[in-house]
Structure 1
Protein backbone atom coordinates (compact mmCIF):
# COMPACT_ATOMS: atom_id res chain seq x y z
CA UNK A 1 0.00 0.00 0.00
CA UNK A 2 1.43 3.38 -0.95
CA UNK A 3 1.59 6.25 1.47
CA UNK A 4 -0.77 9.16 0.90
CA UNK A 5 1.21 12.36 0.39
CA UNK A 6 0.72 15.04 2.99
CA UNK A 7 -1.22 17.96 1.56
CA UNK A 8 0.60 21.26 1.38
CA UNK A 9 -1.21 23.98 3.33
CA UNK A 10 -2.47 27.00 1.42
CA UNK A 11 -4.07 30.26 2.51
CA UNK A 12 -5.01 30.57 6.14
CA UNK A 13 -7.71 32.46 7.94
CA UNK A 14 -8.74 32.83 11.53
CA UNK A 15 -9.07 29.27 12.79
CA UNK A 16 -8.64 27.43 9.47
CA UNK A 17 -6.16 26.42 6.79
CA UNK A 18 -6.81 25.66 3.12
CA UNK A 19 -5.22 22.58 1.59
CA UNK A 20 -5.87 19.95 -1.06
CA UNK A 21 -7.92 16.91 -0.08
CA UNK A 22 -6.17 13.56 -0.34
CA UNK A 23 -7.42 10.24 -1.68
CA UNK A 24 -7.32 8.80 1.85
CA UNK A 25 -10.02 11.29 2.94
CA UNK A 26 -12.79 9.58 0.97
CA UNK A 27 -15.17 9.40 3.97
CA UNK A 28 -14.83 13.14 4.63
CA UNK A 29 -15.24 13.88 0.91
CA UNK A 30 -18.48 11.87 1.08
CA UNK A 31 -19.65 13.78 4.16
CA UNK A 32 -18.91 17.13 2.55
CA UNK A 33 -20.72 16.15 -0.65
CA UNK A 34 -23.84 15.00 1.22
CA UNK A 35 -23.83 18.18 3.35
CA UNK A 36 -23.49 20.19 0.14
CA UNK A 37 -26.49 18.45 -1.42
CA UNK A 38 -28.55 18.93 1.76
CA UNK A 39 -27.97 22.70 1.62
CA UNK A 40 -31.33 24.51 1.50
CA UNK A 41 -30.07 27.13 -1.00
CA UNK A 42 -31.31 25.15 -4.05
CA UNK A 43 -27.85 25.60 -5.56
CA UNK A 44 -27.22 21.91 -6.21
CA UNK A 45 -30.23 20.61 -8.10
CA UNK A 46 -30.87 17.44 -6.13
CA UNK A 47 -30.80 16.43 -2.50
CA UNK A 48 -28.47 14.01 -0.71
CA UNK A 49 -30.76 11.00 -1.20
CA UNK A 50 -29.53 10.66 -4.78
CA UNK A 51 -25.96 9.99 -3.56
CA UNK A 52 -26.27 8.82 0.05
CA UNK A 53 -26.64 5.16 -0.88
CA UNK A 54 -23.65 5.03 -3.20
CA UNK A 55 -21.13 2.35 -2.13
CA UNK A 56 -17.86 3.02 -0.36
CA UNK A 57 -15.88 2.27 -3.52
CA UNK A 58 -17.65 5.11 -5.33
CA UNK A 59 -16.45 7.58 -2.70
CA UNK A 60 -12.95 6.12 -2.72
CA UNK A 61 -12.88 6.62 -6.49
CA UNK A 62 -14.21 10.19 -6.19
CA UNK A 63 -11.57 11.14 -3.61
CA UNK A 64 -8.82 9.49 -5.67
CA UNK A 65 -9.96 11.38 -8.78
CA UNK A 66 -9.81 14.70 -6.92
CA UNK A 67 -6.19 13.95 -6.08
CA UNK A 68 -5.18 13.53 -9.75
CA UNK A 69 -3.01 16.09 -11.53
CA UNK A 70 -5.81 17.57 -13.68
CA UNK A 71 -8.14 18.35 -10.76
CA UNK A 72 -8.09 19.47 -7.16
CA UNK A 73 -10.49 19.62 -4.24
CA UNK A 74 -9.43 22.44 -1.95
CA UNK A 75 -10.61 22.15 1.64
CA UNK A 76 -10.91 24.80 4.35
CA UNK A 77 -10.13 22.82 7.50
CA UNK A 78 -10.87 24.21 10.93
CA UNK A 79 -8.38 23.93 13.77
CA UNK A 80 -10.43 20.98 15.10
CA UNK A 81 -10.17 19.11 11.76
CA UNK A 82 -13.73 19.93 10.65
CA UNK A 83 -14.13 20.84 6.99
CA UNK A 84 -15.64 24.33 6.74
CA UNK A 85 -15.95 24.31 2.97
CA UNK A 86 -14.71 22.87 -0.31
CA UNK A 87 -14.06 24.09 -3.85
CA UNK A 88 -13.12 21.80 -6.67
CA UNK A 89 -11.51 22.60 -9.99
CA UNK A 90 -11.13 20.37 -13.03
CA UNK A 91 -9.34 21.04 -16.27
CA UNK A 92 -12.02 20.71 -18.94
CA UNK A 93 -11.90 21.29 -22.70
CA UNK A 94 -11.78 25.08 -22.36
CA UNK A 95 -9.58 25.18 -19.26
CA UNK A 96 -10.08 25.13 -15.50
CA UNK A 97 -13.69 24.85 -14.31
CA UNK A 98 -14.82 25.56 -10.76
CA UNK A 99 -17.16 22.92 -9.33
CA UNK A 100 -18.23 21.42 -5.99
CA UNK A 101 -18.42 24.86 -4.32
CA UNK A 102 -19.82 24.73 -0.80
CA UNK A 103 -19.14 26.51 2.49
CA UNK A 104 -20.76 25.75 5.84
CA UNK A 105 -23.52 28.40 6.20
CA UNK A 106 -21.99 29.93 9.35
CA UNK A 107 -18.76 30.62 7.41
CA UNK A 108 -20.25 32.18 4.24
CA UNK A 109 -19.86 35.75 3.14
CA UNK A 110 -17.12 38.09 1.95
CA UNK A 111 -13.67 37.36 3.27
CA UNK A 112 -12.89 34.28 5.27
CA UNK A 113 -13.43 30.74 4.05
CA UNK A 114 -14.97 31.48 0.64
CA UNK A 115 -12.26 33.88 -0.44
CA UNK A 116 -9.46 31.70 0.91
CA UNK A 117 -10.79 28.68 -0.99
CA UNK A 118 -11.17 30.69 -4.21
CA UNK A 119 -7.63 32.06 -3.84
CA UNK A 120 -6.28 28.52 -3.50
CA UNK A 121 -8.25 27.32 -6.55
CA UNK A 122 -7.10 30.30 -8.62
CA UNK A 123 -3.48 29.64 -7.64
CA UNK A 124 -3.87 25.99 -8.70
CA UNK A 125 -5.65 26.97 -11.96
CA UNK A 126 -3.30 29.76 -13.15
CA UNK A 127 -0.70 27.50 -14.79
CA UNK A 128 -3.52 25.47 -16.37
CA UNK A 129 -5.45 28.20 -18.19
CA UNK A 130 -6.09 31.87 -18.82
CA UNK A 131 -9.49 31.94 -17.10
CA UNK A 132 -11.51 30.09 -14.49
CA UNK A 133 -15.05 29.19 -15.55
CA UNK A 134 -18.10 27.88 -13.74
CA UNK A 135 -21.78 27.19 -14.18
CA UNK A 136 -24.32 28.48 -11.67
CA UNK A 137 -28.11 28.21 -11.68
CA UNK A 138 -29.59 31.52 -12.84
CA UNK A 139 -32.23 31.37 -10.09
CA UNK A 140 -29.74 31.25 -7.20
CA UNK A 141 -29.19 34.99 -6.99
CA UNK A 142 -27.01 34.90 -3.89
CA UNK A 143 -24.49 32.61 -5.59
CA UNK A 144 -24.53 34.64 -8.83
CA UNK A 145 -23.92 37.85 -6.84
CA UNK A 146 -21.11 36.21 -4.84
CA UNK A 147 -19.33 35.18 -8.03
CA UNK A 148 -19.76 38.65 -9.53
CA UNK A 149 -18.27 40.24 -6.39
CA UNK A 150 -15.26 37.98 -6.88
CA UNK A 151 -14.62 39.02 -10.49
CA UNK A 152 -16.67 36.52 -12.52
CA UNK A 153 -18.79 37.77 -15.43
CA UNK A 154 -21.51 35.97 -17.37
CA UNK A 155 -20.57 34.78 -20.84
CA UNK A 156 -23.48 34.95 -23.28
CA UNK A 157 -27.05 33.93 -22.53
CA UNK A 158 -28.11 31.31 -19.98
CA UNK A 159 -27.80 27.69 -21.12
CA UNK A 160 -30.01 24.74 -20.20
CA UNK A 161 -28.91 23.13 -16.93
CA UNK A 162 -28.76 19.40 -16.28
CA UNK A 163 -31.61 19.94 -13.81
CA UNK A 164 -34.90 19.95 -15.78
CA UNK A 165 -36.57 23.34 -15.97
CA UNK A 166 -33.52 25.30 -14.81
CA UNK A 167 -30.84 27.31 -16.59
CA UNK A 168 -27.17 28.04 -15.87
CA UNK A 169 -25.09 31.11 -16.32
CA UNK A 170 -21.64 30.29 -17.66
CA UNK A 171 -19.30 32.67 -15.86
CA UNK A 172 -15.59 33.33 -16.31
CA UNK A 173 -12.86 35.12 -14.43
CA UNK A 174 -9.54 35.98 -16.06
CA UNK A 175 -6.55 34.47 -14.29
CA UNK A 176 -3.89 36.47 -16.13
Structure 2
Protein backbone atom coordinates (compact mmCIF):
# COMPACT_ATOMS: atom_id res chain seq x y z
CA UNK A 1 0.00 0.00 0.00
CA UNK A 2 2.95 2.21 0.75
CA UNK A 3 4.31 1.58 -2.73
CA UNK A 4 0.95 2.31 -4.26
CA UNK A 5 0.66 5.68 -2.51
CA UNK A 6 4.24 6.55 -3.43
CA UNK A 7 3.58 5.68 -7.08
CA UNK A 8 0.40 7.74 -7.06
CA UNK A 9 2.23 10.75 -5.58
CA UNK A 10 5.08 10.48 -8.11
CA UNK A 11 2.62 10.21 -11.04
CA UNK A 12 0.66 13.23 -9.76
CA UNK A 13 3.86 15.27 -9.59
CA UNK A 14 4.88 14.19 -13.10
CA UNK A 15 1.49 15.01 -14.60
CA UNK A 16 1.26 18.38 -12.90
CA UNK A 17 4.84 19.35 -13.80
CA UNK A 18 4.71 18.29 -17.42
CA UNK A 19 4.85 20.97 -20.09
CA UNK A 20 1.47 21.90 -21.48
CA UNK A 21 0.97 22.50 -25.16
CA UNK A 22 1.48 26.20 -25.83
CA UNK A 23 -1.67 27.80 -27.16
CA UNK A 24 -1.15 30.86 -29.33
CA UNK A 25 -2.20 34.04 -27.53
CA UNK A 26 -4.07 36.36 -29.86
CA UNK A 27 -2.43 39.76 -30.17
CA UNK A 28 -4.34 42.46 -28.33
CA UNK A 29 -5.44 45.40 -30.43
CA UNK A 30 -4.24 48.81 -29.39
CA UNK A 31 -7.33 49.86 -27.42
CA UNK A 32 -6.14 53.45 -26.97
CA UNK A 33 -6.18 53.99 -30.75
CA UNK A 34 -9.66 52.49 -31.04
CA UNK A 35 -11.01 54.65 -28.21
CA UNK A 36 -9.41 57.77 -29.70
CA UNK A 37 -10.93 57.11 -33.12
CA UNK A 38 -14.38 56.55 -31.58
CA UNK A 39 -14.06 59.78 -29.56
CA UNK A 40 -12.99 61.71 -32.66
CA UNK A 41 -16.03 60.43 -34.57
CA UNK A 42 -18.38 61.30 -31.69
CA UNK A 43 -16.89 64.78 -31.36
CA UNK A 44 -17.39 65.41 -35.07
CA UNK A 45 -21.03 64.28 -34.87
CA UNK A 46 -21.70 66.35 -31.72
CA UNK A 47 -20.12 69.45 -33.26
CA UNK A 48 -22.27 69.12 -36.38
CA UNK A 49 -25.40 68.78 -34.24
CA UNK A 50 -24.38 71.74 -32.05
CA UNK A 51 -23.77 74.01 -35.04
CA UNK A 52 -27.16 73.38 -36.70
CA UNK A 53 -29.98 75.76 -35.84
CA UNK A 54 -32.87 74.27 -33.95
CA UNK A 55 -35.04 77.20 -34.96
CA UNK A 56 -35.39 79.42 -38.04
CA UNK A 57 -32.22 81.08 -39.35
CA UNK A 58 -32.44 84.82 -38.61
CA UNK A 59 -29.16 85.80 -40.34
CA UNK A 60 -29.23 89.06 -42.28
CA UNK A 61 -30.81 92.52 -42.04
CA UNK A 62 -34.27 93.05 -40.53
CA UNK A 63 -36.56 96.00 -39.79
CA UNK A 64 -36.12 97.61 -36.37
CA UNK A 65 -38.86 99.94 -35.02
CA UNK A 66 -39.72 102.12 -32.02
CA UNK A 67 -43.29 103.35 -31.48
CA UNK A 68 -42.17 106.96 -30.80
CA UNK A 69 -39.81 107.20 -33.79
CA UNK A 70 -41.53 107.69 -37.13
CA UNK A 71 -39.01 106.06 -39.48
CA UNK A 72 -37.99 102.39 -39.12
CA UNK A 73 -34.37 101.37 -38.84
CA UNK A 74 -32.43 98.21 -39.49
CA UNK A 75 -30.80 95.54 -37.34
CA UNK A 76 -28.33 92.97 -38.70
CA UNK A 77 -28.13 89.41 -37.33
CA UNK A 78 -24.78 87.67 -37.91
CA UNK A 79 -24.74 83.96 -37.05
CA UNK A 80 -21.89 82.86 -34.78
CA UNK A 81 -20.03 79.98 -36.44
CA UNK A 82 -20.20 76.67 -34.63
CA UNK A 83 -23.10 77.67 -32.39
CA UNK A 84 -26.75 76.89 -32.94
CA UNK A 85 -29.22 79.78 -32.80
CA UNK A 86 -26.68 82.36 -31.59
CA UNK A 87 -26.15 85.71 -33.31
CA UNK A 88 -24.21 88.93 -32.91
CA UNK A 89 -26.58 91.80 -33.63
CA UNK A 90 -26.17 95.50 -34.30
CA UNK A 91 -28.64 98.08 -35.51
CA UNK A 92 -30.03 101.61 -35.40
CA UNK A 93 -33.20 103.64 -35.77
CA UNK A 94 -32.69 107.34 -36.53
CA UNK A 95 -35.16 110.12 -37.17
CA UNK A 96 -34.18 113.72 -36.54
CA UNK A 97 -32.70 113.96 -33.03
CA UNK A 98 -34.29 110.69 -31.91
CA UNK A 99 -32.43 107.41 -32.16
CA UNK A 100 -32.21 103.86 -30.79
CA UNK A 101 -29.03 101.80 -30.99
CA UNK A 102 -28.84 98.06 -30.26
CA UNK A 103 -25.58 96.12 -29.98
CA UNK A 104 -25.00 92.69 -28.46
CA UNK A 105 -25.64 88.97 -28.57
CA UNK A 106 -28.96 87.23 -29.32
CA UNK A 107 -29.79 83.62 -28.43
CA UNK A 108 -32.97 82.12 -29.87
CA UNK A 109 -34.34 79.96 -27.05
CA UNK A 110 -37.76 78.97 -28.42
CA UNK A 111 -40.10 79.68 -31.32
CA UNK A 112 -41.46 82.65 -29.36
CA UNK A 113 -38.48 83.89 -27.31
CA UNK A 114 -35.06 85.43 -27.95
CA UNK A 115 -32.68 86.43 -25.17
CA UNK A 116 -30.62 89.54 -25.92
CA UNK A 117 -27.49 90.37 -23.94
CA UNK A 118 -25.89 93.74 -24.55
CA UNK A 119 -26.89 97.42 -24.69
CA UNK A 120 -29.94 99.18 -26.06
CA UNK A 121 -29.43 102.94 -25.89
CA UNK A 122 -32.04 105.47 -26.89
CA UNK A 123 -32.66 109.16 -27.00
CA UNK A 124 -36.22 110.07 -27.98
CA UNK A 125 -37.02 113.76 -28.46
CA UNK A 126 -40.55 113.34 -27.03
CA UNK A 127 -39.26 111.74 -23.82
CA UNK A 128 -37.65 114.16 -21.33
CA UNK A 129 -36.24 116.28 -24.18
CA UNK A 130 -34.13 113.44 -25.56
CA UNK A 131 -32.48 112.31 -22.33
CA UNK A 132 -30.27 109.24 -22.93
CA UNK A 133 -31.62 105.97 -21.51
CA UNK A 134 -29.59 102.73 -21.71
CA UNK A 135 -30.82 99.21 -21.07
CA UNK A 136 -27.95 96.87 -20.15
CA UNK A 137 -27.79 93.16 -19.50
CA UNK A 138 -30.03 90.33 -20.62
CA UNK A 139 -33.46 91.22 -22.00
CA UNK A 140 -36.13 89.09 -23.67
CA UNK A 141 -37.78 89.68 -27.03
CA UNK A 142 -41.06 87.78 -27.46
CA UNK A 143 -43.26 87.03 -30.45
CA UNK A 144 -47.04 86.70 -30.32
CA UNK A 145 -47.60 86.51 -34.08
CA UNK A 146 -45.78 83.31 -35.03
CA UNK A 147 -42.30 84.80 -35.35
CA UNK A 148 -43.02 87.76 -37.65
CA UNK A 149 -42.35 90.36 -34.94
CA UNK A 150 -40.35 90.10 -31.71
CA UNK A 151 -41.03 92.80 -29.07
CA UNK A 152 -38.71 93.83 -26.25
CA UNK A 153 -40.38 92.81 -22.98
CA UNK A 154 -38.64 95.50 -20.89
CA UNK A 155 -41.17 98.08 -22.11
CA UNK A 156 -40.91 100.81 -19.46
CA UNK A 157 -38.37 103.49 -20.34
CA UNK A 158 -36.35 105.72 -18.00
CA UNK A 159 -39.23 108.23 -17.82
CA UNK A 160 -41.70 105.57 -16.67
CA UNK A 161 -43.60 105.37 -19.97
CA UNK A 162 -44.32 102.23 -21.96
CA UNK A 163 -42.67 101.99 -25.37
CA UNK A 164 -42.49 99.29 -28.02
CA UNK A 165 -39.15 98.30 -29.53
CA UNK A 166 -39.70 95.64 -32.19
CA UNK A 167 -37.67 93.54 -34.61
CA UNK A 168 -39.63 92.50 -37.72
CA UNK A 169 -38.74 89.39 -39.74
| TM tier relative to shorter chain | under 0.3
Tell which has more relative contact order, 1 or 2 (C-alpha 8 A, sep 6+): 1
TM-score (norm 1): 0.25
Task: Compare CA radii of gyration and give the structure with the larger one.
Answer: 2
More helix by share: 1
More strand by share: 2
